[in-house]
Amino acid sequence: MAEFTPSEPKEKTILKLKLNTDPRWVDIASKNIEDILVDHAYCEQKAASTGISLIVKYPEKARLVDELTDLVAEEWAHFERVLQELRKRGFALGRQRRDEYVVQLMTHVRKGGARERQLMDQLLVSALIEARSCERFKLLWKHIPDPDLSKFYYELMVSEAGHFVAYVDLAKEYCDPKEVEARLQELLKIEGEIVTNLPVRDDRMH
3-class SS letters over 91-149: CCCCCCCCCHHHHHHHCCCCCCCCHHHHHHHHHHHHHHHHHHHHHHHHHHHHHCCCHHH
User: Considering the entire predicted model, what is its pTM?
Assistant: 0.89
Residue 47 reports pLDDT greater than 60: yes
pLDDT at 24: 80
H or E segment to which residue 30 belongs: helix 24-30
Q: Which residue has the higher pLDDT, 92 or 19?
A: 92
pLDDT at 29: 81
> In this prediction, what percent of the chain has a pLDDT beyond 70?
93
Contact status, residue 202 vs residue 28, Cβ threshold 8 Å:
yes
pLDDT at 12: 45
Q: What's the whole-number average pLDDT of the chain?
A: 89
pLDDT at 13: 45
pLDDT at 55: 98
